[in-house]
Amino acid sequence: MKEKENIISLRKVKKDYPLGKTTVHALQGIDLDVEKGDFLSIVGPSGSGKTTLLNIIGCIDKATEGSVKINGQEITNMNDDEMTDLRLFKIGFIFQTFNLIPVLNIFENVEFPLLLMKKYSRSEMKKKVDSLIDAVGLKDFVNHRPAELSGGQRQRVAIARALVTDPDIVLADEPTANLDSVTGENILQLMKKMNQIKHTTFVFSTHNPDVLKYANDVIKIKDGMICNK
C-alpha cells in the first residue's frame, strides 16, 4: 500500500562511468523510496554520488542497472523525448549555479517552461508567473535581467521557475552552495514554504549540516551507497 504513495522509487540502481581503462562505480545498488510531499535531503561528502543520484531521479541521466520509477512510471527504457517531457511536466530543477537564461528578463525566465508546455493561455501563464514571482519576493524585479540580480535573487528566480509548472518533484543540487549563509537560509525557508503550500516533493543535496534542520528526512550517502536513512 505504501509503495503506491511513493513518488520516487529506486531499486538496486547502479551507475558506472567508464574512465579510461577503469570504471568508476558512482552508485552501487541504491534502494530508495520517497513519499509524495516529502522534503528530503541527501547528504554526503564530495564524490559520494549525491549529484548522480539526483540526476537519475531527475531523468537527466540513466542508470546502468536497476529500476527507477517516477510517479509509478518506469523511466529506464524511455527515449530522449519522453524523458524530456517527463522533466517538463513532472520535475522542477534548481541548480547550484542558478542557470537562468541571460537574454531573458525575470518574468520571461520563469515563463520559459510554461511556453515549452504549450498548455496554458497567455493570461493563465501571466497569472501563474506573477503569483510565483510575488511569492519569491521579486515583484519589483520582473523586468530585470539575471545579470542585474544578486545570487540569492537569482536562486529565487530559479525556485519560481522550478515551481511554475506545478511539478510533482523539485530537485535541487546544493541550492545554497553559492550563497552566503543568510541568503541560503532564506532560500531553504522559501523552499520549505513552497513544500508546505503546494505539497510539492523536494529532494535536495547538500553537505551543509545547518540546512538539515529543514529536512523531513535525510539520506546519508557514501561511496555510492546509502549509509543510513
Partner 1 sequence: MRLILKIALGNILRHKGKSLVVGTIIFIGSLIMIIGNAVVSGMDRGLQSNIVDRFTGHIIIVSTNQEDNNVFLTLEGRPIEPIAEYKNIKKILQSEPYIENFLPVGINTIMVMSETCEPWRGIVIGVEFDKYQKMFHSNVIVVEGRLITNRERGFLITEYSRSQIYDLNRYWIKPAELNISNNINSNKLMPMHIRTNLVIMGGGEGNYTSDANVPIKGIIKYSYLNNLWQRFNIIDIETFREAFNYFSTDIEETKIPREKSDLIKKALENSDELFSSEEIIENAPVLSEKIDFKRIVKESKEKLEKAREKAKIADVEAGMYNLVLIKIIKNEDLNQSIKKLNKILKENHLDARAISWREAIGTIAQFATLIRGALTLFVLFLFFVAIIIIMNTLSMSAVERVPEIGMMRAVGARKSFISRMFLAETSMLSFVFGLGGIIFGTFGTFTLSLLNIKTGNDMLQLLFGGDVFCPSVELKNLLEGIFQLIVVTLLAVIYPLKIAKKISPLDAISRE
Please report, as ranges, the residues that interact with partner 1 according to CB under 8 A: 51, 55, 58, 60-61, 80-81, 84-85, 87-89, 92-93, 95-97, 99-104, 108, 112-113, 115-117, 161, 165, 173
Alpha-carbon gap, residue 130 to 138, rounded angstroms: 9
Q: Judge contact between 216 and 40, C-beta under 8 A.
A: yes
Which C-beta is closer to partner 1: that of 125 or that of 226?
Answer: 125
CB of 193 to partner 1, least distance (A): 22
Which C-beta is closer to partner 1: that of 6 or that of 167?
Answer: 167
Which C-beta is closer to partner 1: that of 8 or that of 172?
Answer: 172
Which C-beta is closer to partner 1: that of 6 or that of 205?
Answer: 205
Cα-flanking dihedrals φ and ψ of residue 6, to 5°?
-70, 125
User: In the sheet where 65-70 sits, what is the strand order?
Assistant: 22-35, 6-19, 65-70, 73-74
CB of 78 to partner 1, least distance (A): 13
CB of 96 to partner 1, least distance (A): 5
CB of 146 to partner 1, least distance (A): 11
Beta strands in the chain (DSSP E): 6-19, 22-35, 39-43, 65-70, 73-74, 91-94, 169-173, 201-206, 217-222, 225-228
